[in-house]
Structures are given as structure tokens and as C-alpha cells.
Amino acid sequence: MTGPFEFATAGRVVFGAGRATELPALVGGWGERAVVLTGSRPDRHASLITALPMDVAVVPVSGEPTVDAARAAVAAAREHGAQAVLGIGGGSVIDLGKTVAMLLGNGGDPLDYLEVVGRGHPIGRPSVPFAAVPTTAGTGAEVTMNAVLTSPEHGRKASVRARSMLPALALVDPLLTVDCPPAVTAASGLDALTQCLEPLVSRHRTPITDALAADGLRHAAAGLRAAYADGSDVAARTEMALCSLLGGMSLANAKLGAVHGFAGVIGGLVPVAHGAICAALLAPVTEANVRALRERDPDNPALAAYRRAAALLTGDPGATVEDGVEWIARTVRLLGVGGLAAGGLDPDLVDDVVAKTGSSSSTKGNPIDLTEEELRRALVAAL
């Protein structure tokens, strides 16, 4: 029987190749002053920014966001008197934008609200209006209610999270992703795939997220290898922008699993792209989950969901779970994503990572509780 559920997403979702040009009209009426966060090359979006109908301060962002980067960005926004925030960039830029919009509405410091390592205060007031315009596909951060920040002092990534952090506008234009270099296409695309697979088997899945996550996997199968092989393939880029969007909607409402539980911990320790960390873990964690479900909970519907995922990814309606795992492992190899040790994760840290992963908020969505030994085996396989 289906239990109670709810679903929340961005206030407005606008999708389509070429639609980024609508941004100025879409944010009309959002106030006289805004802060625009971009990647390290704001000139890429110069024509879009100059067309905005407000007095704009541009804040370029480099690297994945830290607590200090959020402090600097919100200081710039406060100094400018920003009434709205726009983020044009990858998940890093969008997460920083979400954090700035929340801090402008609520006051205080990022650590006041950061989960796990911060003070975790509830976020009681609305954010100022925030528009998310992704240039990677992706994190789906344009439709999620959290922002991931690294706290170097704690050596850990954690989220600032509130329903009120859902962007007022998610403007998804696949043309903005055609410049992504192959390594970014690979890492962000495998993140998008993971963000469809983990909600599909999550213990918090709902009928709505099942539909979205399954469709997202279909788009990943159609677009991921093709977008990596030819970045200018707009059809493939469109498939991946959809995969990312649907994954974001799914994870925001069904949560994730042990892959993201691990990724939050490992991402605070080594400077490896979030998506590449997820990619290295995806096949080993899937194998661990399937083995544990078969041994301890063989009637769990997550096993059927894994078979459904295998059919969607391979395009073979009769595919087994093992076929699906093999498709994932082959795709990760094809896209040139290496193991975690090559990325700098010290094998001596395995026990520490496993202990922290067990308590991470993402791990709680995993379809079955994995033992420390099962988590350890999956992590060692991902090294």
C-alpha cells in the first residue's frame, strides 16, 4: 500500500535549448539590486548578465564551495544591498547562490545552519528570490532544497537545508552545457545518473519520485556516453540536462543512499570532483546493496527497482541486476573516471571514512542498513 508522501520542487521550472535568453524577463520585478554568482569566467555569460533588469554585482566562484566562500559571497551581496540572487554555473555556483539567498533572508553565518558539523539551527525565514541557471548536467541543484558546503576545519562536506531554499526559478538550458570539457561532462553526468538510481531504490521513494527517477535513468542511457563522446551533440546534452533535472527532483523528495553518504565524507578529504567520487562508488555500493537485500530482506521492493534500473540503462527489458551493474562499471571506465586511491584517498583512512559514512544523513535513505564490513568492502573496491 502506498503511504503518505509529499513533493516539492522549484517555484518555476523553465526548460529548453536557447531559453537562457529569457532570464532577464523571468526575473523582472525581483528588485533593483541583485548579486550574480558565476563560475570563474563570468565573461562566458556577459550578454546575459548585461541584459538583466537590475543593478548587478558579479561574484565569480572557483572550486567547490567552502564555508569561507559562502561568507565572502554573502558579504559582497550584503554590501551591494542585493534583494535577489542569481546563480549561473555548475552545482558549486548554484549551492553558493542558494546559501547566499538563505543568509540574506535569515541573517547569521553558514556554520549556524550547517548540518552535522555546524550548529544546525532551523532555517525559519524565507530566502530572498533565487534563480538557478545550471551550466553542468549535473547535480540537479536547481531543484533541490539543500546546498553542500565544505568545512575545511572539520574536513567534511555537509548541507545547509530547508524547503525555503528551493529556488524560485530553475532555468535549464542544455546549450549552456555544451562547453563542458569531457572530465566535467563525465563527473557531473555520472552524478546525475547516481541521483536517479539512489532515489529509485531509496527507502523514502514515492510514486512521483519513482516515475521521475526511472525516466531520468532512461535519459542517462540515451545521453551520457554520447555527450562525453561529442560535447557539441545538443540532443545528448538535452538528454543529460533532463536526467539531471529529474534526478534533482527525485533526490529532493526521496533522499539518496550510501554512495552519497560516502561522497560527503570523502569529498571533505580529497580534492576530487563530487561526481567522480560517486562514479567510483556506484557499482561497488550497488553490488553491496543487492547482496545484502538478497541475504537479509529478499522481499524488499528495492530489488525489483534495481532490476528496473538495469532494464532502463541497458535497454534490455530482460536485463538482470548484474547486467545493470556491468553497464555502470563499463560506462565509468569508458568515461575515464579512475578509482579513489588515484584521486588521493589514503587507504589508511578507510576505517575512519566507513565510521563517518554510517552516520551521514544520505546513508539513511539507503534501501538496507549495510554493516561496517559491507561498507568497508564497497569502499575498498572503489579505491
Residues that bind ligand NAD (CB under 6 A): 39-40, 64, 89-93, 95, 135-136, 138-139, 141, 144, 146-148, 176-177, 179-180, 184, 187-188, 191, 274-275
Other CB atoms within 10 Å distance of the CB of residue 310: 24
- Which CB sits closer to ligand NAD, 64 or 239? 64
How near is the Cβ of 158 to ligand NAD at its closest, in Å? 10
CB atoms within 10 A of CB 330: 12
Q: How far is the CB of 105 from ligand NAD (least distance, A)?
A: 17
The CB-of-379 to ligand NAD minimum distance in angstroms stands at 18
Helix (H) or strand (E) holding 115: none
CB of 38 to ligand NAD, least distance (A): 9
Q: Are 219 and 246 in contact (CB under 8 A)?
A: yes
List CB contacts of 53: < 8 A, sequence separation 6 or more.
24, 27, 28
Please say which residue, 39 or 129, places its beta carbon nearer to ligand NAD.
39
Beta-carbon neighbour count of residue 345 at 10 Å? 21
CB half-sphere exposure, 23, CA atoms < 13 A: 28
Report d(CA 381, CA 213) in Å as an integer.
Answer: 26
Nearer to ligand NAD, 300 or 357 (CB): 357
Tell me whether residue 146 or residue 366 sits nearer to ligand NAD (CB atom): 146
Q: Calculate the CA dihedral of residues 338, 339, 340, 342 and round it to 10 degrees.
A: -70
Based on CB atoms, which residue is closest to ligand NAD, 276 or 303? 276
Closest approach of ligand NAD to the CB of residue 194, in Å: 9
Residue entry with cell 523571468:
26
Least distance in angstroms from the C-beta of 65 to ligand NAD: 6
Closer to ligand NAD by Cβ: residue 266 or 378: 266
Q: Which is nearer to ligand NAD, 44 or 291 (CB)?
A: 44
DSSP 167-223: -SEEEE-GGGGTT--HHHHHHHHHHHHHHHHHHHH-TT--HHHHHHHHHHHHHHHHH
Min dist CB 299 to ligand NAD, Å, is: 31
Nearest residue to 284 (alpha-carbon basis) of 246, 340, 228: 340
Nearer to ligand NAD, 105 or 174 (CB): 174
- In angstroms, the CA 244 to CA 338 distance is 22
CB of 319 to ligand NAD, least distance (A): 27
Report the distance separating Cα 84 and Cα 97, nearest Å: 10
Q: Which is nearer to ligand NAD, 54 or 190 (CB)?
A: 190
| Cβ 291 to ligand NAD shortest distance, Å | 26
Q: Is 56 exposed, middle or buried (0-12, 13-18, 19+ CB in 10 A)?
A: middle
Q: Which of 151, 83, 84, 76 is nearest to 120 (CA)?
A: 151
What is the number of the residue whose Cβ is closest to ligand NAD? 90
Pairing of the two strands 146-151 and 156-161 = antiparallel
